[in-house]
């Protein structure tokens, strides 16, 4: 619960402690299982085609195994992506063997865009793109997250962070 909004989220204390914010109220999200499976679907079809062709040409088993390994790595990478929204920051942790942690101060967010293609609408997932004033990471995307009122929550938190930091936007 942040402010007046409550959003379904999973809390994993161990992962929060590793990010250095153990007792801060937060919303924790990650790409949904359906999005992760959708992301590797094309690779899996290609593996099936290679395995069918390997019935006649045995050499095609090796590329099928390599591509299956790449698909598994991609799935695992997406499942290990974590988005953590607090009252003042958005943290994005990615990686399997080497972690990358991106921290965005919410007062830097300028615009928000929610996108859903037809498949994402059916699966009830979305992508939330945050346009920032940063020169380095101009667009931060929260991809494949469950459909929710997160964009409204982000908007409210950005307004609170700007008021607290006394930031005024000038166009």
* Residue 170: per-residue pLDDT: 67
CA distance 103 to 41: 31
Cβ within 8 Å of residue 136, ≥6 positions away: none
* Residue 36: per-residue pLDDT: 96
User: Which residue in 133, 126, 138 sits closest to 7, CA to CA?
Assistant: 126
Domains and CATH numbers, the chain: 13-31+81-165 (2.30.29.30), 39-74 (no CATH)
* Residue 135: per-residue pLDDT: 80
* Residue 15: per-residue pLDDT: 44
Distance of CA 5 to the CA centre of its chain: 20
* Residue 19: per-residue pLDDT: 52
Query: Which residues, listed in sequence order, are joined to residue 113 by a DSSP beta bridge?
Result: 129
* Residue 58: per-residue pLDDT: 87
CA 133 to each of CA 17, 46, 98, 140, 153: distance values in angstroms, whole numbers, following the listed order: 29, 41, 27, 11, 19
Q: Model confidence at 22, in pLDDT bands (50, 70, 90)?
A: low
* Residue 55: per-residue pLDDT: 87
């Amino acid at each position: 619960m942040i402010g007046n909004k409550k959003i379904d989220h999973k809390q994993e204390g161990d992962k929060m402690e590793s990010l250095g914010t153990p007792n801060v109220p937060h919303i924790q999200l990650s790409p949904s299982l359906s999005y992760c499976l959708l992301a590797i679907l094309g690779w899996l079809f290609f593996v099936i085609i290679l395995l069918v062709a390997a019935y006649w040409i045995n050499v095609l088993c090796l590329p099928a195994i390599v591509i299956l390994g790449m698909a598994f790595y991609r799935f695992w990478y997406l499942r290990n992506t974590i988005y953590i929204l607090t009252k003042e920051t958005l943290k994005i942790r990615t990686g399997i063997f080497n972690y990358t942690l991106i921290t965005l101060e919410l007062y830097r967010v300028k615009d928000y865009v929610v996108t859903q293609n037809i498949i994402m609408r059916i699966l009830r997932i979305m992508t939330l793109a945050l346009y920032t004033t940063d020169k380095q990471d101009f667009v931060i995307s929260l991809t494949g997250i469950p459909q929710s009122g997160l964009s409204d929550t982000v908007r409210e938190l950005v307004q609170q962070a700007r008021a607290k930091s006394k930031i005024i936007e000038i166009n």
